[in-house]
Structure 1
């Protein structure tokens, strides 16, 4: 987590020191990917690498719609395989600080899933819907290429696939990630 934070701050400092004087168009479609630290909190907390994909459409400088998906690597220990993932659809509100930097916030709905596989037993799938929210900083590197540092959280209740499993587990899945996207 510390390495990701140091890398993100370093990249943002490099791009802050460059002069991007061309008027960048921040409207239209965009698509990108991210890499970060995913944390699953469902009773116990587990964390690991999270990868994601996102895309959306900015209607103007301050309002857009975004779809965001992120999944984890194996979050379990030596006896259990554990994975988590979410898909969120949110309106996104942006404040342009200058032509290079902006901050954003978003809130919307999401689906979430957690799969647990204890040693030599069948998979136990937990699924549900919840609320998604996130904040972040965006930096325009060129007219079309952007990087962003964001924090997304999906919170809700998960239900077990099997009736004999645990029911209605309150769950938070968060992702702190560095992303890069192309603005069309």
Structure 2
């Protein structure tokens, strides 16, 4: 049985896509670091820091965000989760912030290590969206 609160850090490959109706669009791959605290088996908080990648006219300088994390444990080793919060995204063509949301899953591969994947909508505007799919490892301490 885990002890709470429980901290964690992780690193992910992040595959992002900026879809824009009125300006430059792009997609590429970058790196996302994440860290957080899980307060019980159902709730935690998480922060993301991402960077990297450019394709065509758009380059992702960085993203930084903070999220509440709702967790649905399906077994001792497997969890689904949802994230909702605020993100600031800085492209070489401008900076924006807004509400963000996403969902993912994690599977424990060792007592303190898990592998996971998620899909985030970091920006959702009427004329453009910024999404990212990520896969990586997490270490709990």
TM-score bucket (shorter structure): 0.7 to 0.9
Matched, 1:89 2:89: no
TM-superposed CA distance for 1:42, in Å, is 2.4
Task: Give, in whole Å, the separation in 2 of the partners of 1:179 and 1:106.
Answer: 16
TM-superposed CA distance for 1:83, in Å, is 1.0
Q: Which one of 94, 97, 121 corresponds to residue 153 of structure 1?
A: 121
Alignment of 1:16-165 (within 5 A): 27-43=5-21, 45-76=25-56, 80=57, 82-84=58-60, 85-116=62-93, 126-155=94-123
TM-superposed CA distance for 1:147, in Å, is 0.7
Task: Give, in whole Å, the separation in 1 of the partners of 2:103 and 2:90.
Answer: 22
TM-superposed CA distance for 1:25, in Å, is 5.8
Q: What does the per-residue CA deviation read over 1:3-40, in whole Å, with 9 as the maximum and x for residues that have no partner?
A: xxxxxxxxxxxxxxxxxxxx566850000100031111
TM-superposed CA distance for 1:49, in Å, is 0.9
Q: Indicate if the aligned counterparts of 2:47 and 2:67 stay in contact, CA closer than 8 A.
A: yes
Q: Indicate if the aligned counterparts of 2:15 and 2:27 stay in contact, CA closer than 8 A.
A: yes
Q: Residue in 2 aligned with 1:121?
A: none
Secondary structure of 1:51's aligned partner: strand
CA root-mean-square deviation: 2.0
Give me the TM-score of the superposition, normalised by structure 2: 0.88
Give me the TM-score of the superposition, normalised by structure 1: 0.68
Give the count of matched residue pairs: 138
Bigger Rg over Cα: 1
Structure with greater strand share of residues? 2
Structure with greater helix share of residues? 1
TM-superposed CA distance for 1:152, in Å, is 1.1
